[in-house]
Structure 1
Amino acid sequence: MNPLNLTAGELHQHIELKVVEQRVQASFCNPEKGCSLVKPETLGLPAGQMPIDRLTGTPIYVSEFIIFPDRTAIDSPGFESVAGDMTAGDRVRYRASGHLSFWNPDSPQWTLAPEGIQIRLAGGLDLQPNQDCGQVFCIPKAVEGFTIFSRHGVSSATSLIVGEVRTDGSLHTHLDWIIESNQGTPNAPIGAYMVELQLITDSYPVPSDSLWIMFNNGLPLQVFQQAVAERVLQSSTDTVLADKLFSWAESNYPSLFPNAATSFIALGYYARCYQNGACVGVKDNHIFAVGGEFGTSIVTLGDFNVLATQAGL
């Protein structure tokens, strides 16, 4: 397939992987090792300042979608390990979490992706034994080979194979990312999109720290730089306003949020947790809750700015 359009220049890079203290560690690659790195200056950042989320400290790896005749897709970033950094024959896997974030150039702030838009990640297939066929040997069942990120979270397969480590302990692999509507059409709005991953291996199942991958979808480079800056050069959440809203909720809904708590940062959220097990957090200009009366699944309570206005803040 030949690309039809490339708007922001080359944003190709590798995520460097190694095993450190019994778990996978992901980091920005060192070009001296032969891998690709997007320079901070390309992203509009000061020289030497890597794209790390200002509020949470989460590293951000960038890429950009390319328009092909039948899809809008990319196979970047890649995953790279040098010889000796991993265990030969070990399988590296990703674990997807969070939701699909979106930066709209028309109202420039990070929020949730539009309804009906998704990013589909093609991971490696696992084979699981199938003993239901009634034969001596049963053909294994294949696990679904795609992970889907949307504003509602992660669906389909949440963990698939990134690649298998070579005999010398090195790794070099790429995964395919596709942006589309939930009907499979390549008409996602122009903007920046972001997803969250952790990495594990079969030998080292303790997850790595979270990492974010930010995709440019059709923005000129200087506009994409604004999306990066709103994560890296400033906090994406007004923590003072968030604390006021948390305190307002504690005063007005004490059964849901009993006993005032201290705010903290975890899993990309600016959050508070309470004695009844409930936690509430702000991320991408939305309020989320889990635990207590909210149940075991994360629920979206609404737009952060709208709720703050309704509370008179």
Structure 2
Amino acid sequence: MPTIFKNLTINPISRMRSNPSRTVLSILTGLYLLNPLILIAGELHQHIEVKVVEERVQTNFCNPEKGCSLVKPETLGLPAGQMPIDQLTGTPIYVSEFIIFPDRTAIDSPGFESIAGDMTAGDRVRYRASGHLSYWSSDKHQWSLAPEGVQIRLAGGLDLQPNQDCGQVFCIPITVEGFTIFSRHGVSSASSLIVGEVRSDGSLHTHLDWIVESNLGTPNAPIGAYMVELQLITDSYPEPSDSLWIMFNNGLPLQDFQQAVAGRVLQSNTDTTLADKLFGWAESNYPTLFPHAETSFIALGYYARCYQNGACVGVKDNHIFAVGGEFGANILTLGEFNAFAAQAGL
């Protein structure tokens, strides 16, 4: 297995560790002793709580009283007791921080954890990746799409493929390790892989590897905050959980990272009043594309409108997206929201 923590894996399906928090801490401590300039990211290490409630997978911020790791709101610059939840959409945001390794910049946090009795023994938990890679830089102070050529690779997820070579009537499927790529253009490679297998007591504790990569001619991706989108399902409960976002700090001073968090939690990332004006302008000037104006709504992180011809347009991360109708079945990125608003004279 090519993952950066492969030597710590006990079970190739469950990817469970005997003491993952202690293991991660020892790795970070060793790195710090080698290079004291590296920022220790222990404050931003946490787990995502996973359980099944009413026949559906549910995720939540974990409870430290049950033994898991949770980032304190104060660390993120939030008022005491206020959890990082996106103001516009109500989506929970789990935070982590990349570490610079000799050959890559990566982290295995957040992990996924269930306590005994929360899940069905032997059930396989899977993620479903969606959305576009978001980015916040300290110079623009605004969430947008990630720069071209930058991506986050989620490695260590597993898939089961048919085995036709065992010589038996029924062959045990082959376990294959895969990965998912998040970029400004969306999700590529495997969009869904196995996170882990639930233990016999109904508990789960597993970590995958998040790696930020760049082909911009520099060894490291641009400094800033990055964010991806996931849902969780299991083999027994295929209805997906509500969406969750995972935000990573890549080299920002803590104060700047707190501003990136505030740009989602303490204020709306989208000017909905301006978006409605832009939707209205488009409906007046392009009635064949956007006929019969409807009320705006929030879905899947977008502030959007849909029309009777099947077309939908939405604003997210300072960009305009469209799908359906004459735009086709795939989500298209039309351009920057601010630029369209300026062009419309708004």
Aligned equivalent of 1:200: 233
- What is the distance in 1 between the residues matched to 2:80 and 2:272? 28
Residue-by-residue CA offset, 1:267-295 (whole Å, 9 max, x unaligned): 00000000001000000000000000000
Give the alignment of 1:213-252 within 5 angstroms. Answer: 213-252=246-285
Matched, 1:146 2:151: no
- What is the distance in 1 between the residues matched to 2:104 and 2:199? 31
Which of the pair is proportionally richer in helix?
2
Indicate if the aligned counterparts of 2:127 and 2:231 stay in contact, CA closer than 8 A.
yes
Equivalent position SS for 1:124: strand
Aligned equivalent of 1:92: 125
Task: Kindly provide the amino acid, as one letter, of the partner of residue 100 in structure 1.
Answer: L
- What is the distance in 1 between the residues matched to 2:176 and 2:280? 45
* Residue 288 of structure 1, aligned match among 316, 321, 325: 321
* Large movers: runs of 4+ above 3 Å: 1-4, 135-144, 182-186
Aligned equivalent of 1:181: 214
Residue-by-residue CA offset, 1:82-130 (whole Å, 9 max, x unaligned): 0000000100000000010000111110000000000000142212115
Residue-by-residue CA offset, 1:194-234 (whole Å, 9 max, x unaligned): 00000000000000000000000000111100000000000
Indicate if the aligned counterparts of 2:214 and 2:220 stay in contact, CA closer than 8 A.
yes
Indicate if the aligned counterparts of 1:144 and 1:157 stay in contact, CA closer than 8 A.
no
Residue-by-residue CA offset, 1:18-69 (whole Å, 9 max, x unaligned): 1001111000001000001101010000001000000000000000000011
- C-alpha displacement of 1:184: 10
Give the alignment of 1:40-51 within 5 angstroms. Answer: 40-51=73-84
- What is the distance in 2 between the residues matched to 1:36 and 1:91? 23
Matched, 1:66 2:99: yes
Identical positions, percent: 86
- C-alpha displacement of 1:136: 3.7
Aligned equivalent of 1:304: 337
Task: Kindly provide the amino acid, as one letter, of the partner of residue 180 in structure 1.
Answer: E
Residue-by-residue CA offset, 1:242-273 (whole Å, 9 max, x unaligned): 00000000011111101011000000000000
Equivalent position SS for 1:200: strand
Indicate if the aligned counterparts of 2:131 and 2:228 stay in contact, CA closer than 8 A.
yes
Matched, 1:32 2:65: yes
- What is the distance in 1 between the residues matched to 2:218 and 2:234? 33
Matched, 1:126 2:159: yes
Equivalent position SS for 1:307: helix
Indicate if the aligned counterparts of 2:157 and 2:177 stay in contact, CA closer than 8 A.
no
- Structure 2: unaligned runs, 5 residues or longer: 1-26
Matched, 1:160 2:184: no
- What is the distance in 2 between the residues matched to 1:259 and 1:73? 47
- C-alpha displacement of 1:6: 1.7
Go from structure 1 to structure 2 and tell me whether the alpha carbon gap of 1:142 and 1:34 turns closer, same or farther (over 3 Å shift).
Answer: closer
Equivalent position SS for 2:277: helix
- What is the distance in 1 between the residues matched to 2:258 and 2:86? 14
Aligned equivalent of 2:56: 23
- What is the distance in 1 between the residues matched to 2:50 and 2:124? 12
- C-alpha displacement of 1:182: 4.7
Equivalent position SS for 2:228: strand
* Residue 255 of structure 1, aligned match among 284, 288, 292: 288
* Residue 265 of structure 1, aligned match among 278, 281, 298: 298
- What is the distance in 2 between the residues matched to 1:297 and 1:209? 21
Indicate if the aligned counterparts of 2:43 and 2:75 stay in contact, CA closer than 8 A.
no
Task: Kindly provide the amino acid, as one letter, of the partner of residue 317 in structure 2.
Answer: D
Indicate if the aligned counterparts of 1:123 and 1:147 stay in contact, CA closer than 8 A.
no
- What is the distance in 2 between the residues matched to 1:231 and 1:124? 28
- What is the distance in 2 between the residues matched to 1:291 and 1:54? 27
- What is the distance in 2 between the residues matched to 1:54 and 1:267? 14
Aligned equivalent of 1:11: 44
Indicate if the aligned counterparts of 1:6 and 1:67 stay in contact, CA closer than 8 A.
no
Give the total of aligned pairs.
311
- What is the distance in 2 between the residues matched to 1:283 and 1:95? 20
Equivalent position SS for 1:145: strand
Indicate if the aligned counterparts of 1:88 and 1:167 stay in contact, CA closer than 8 A.
yes
Q: If the length of structure 1 is used for normalisation, what is the TM-score?
A: 0.95
Indicate if the aligned counterparts of 2:158 and 2:195 stay in contact, CA closer than 8 A.
no
- Structure 1: unaligned runs, 5 residues or longer: none
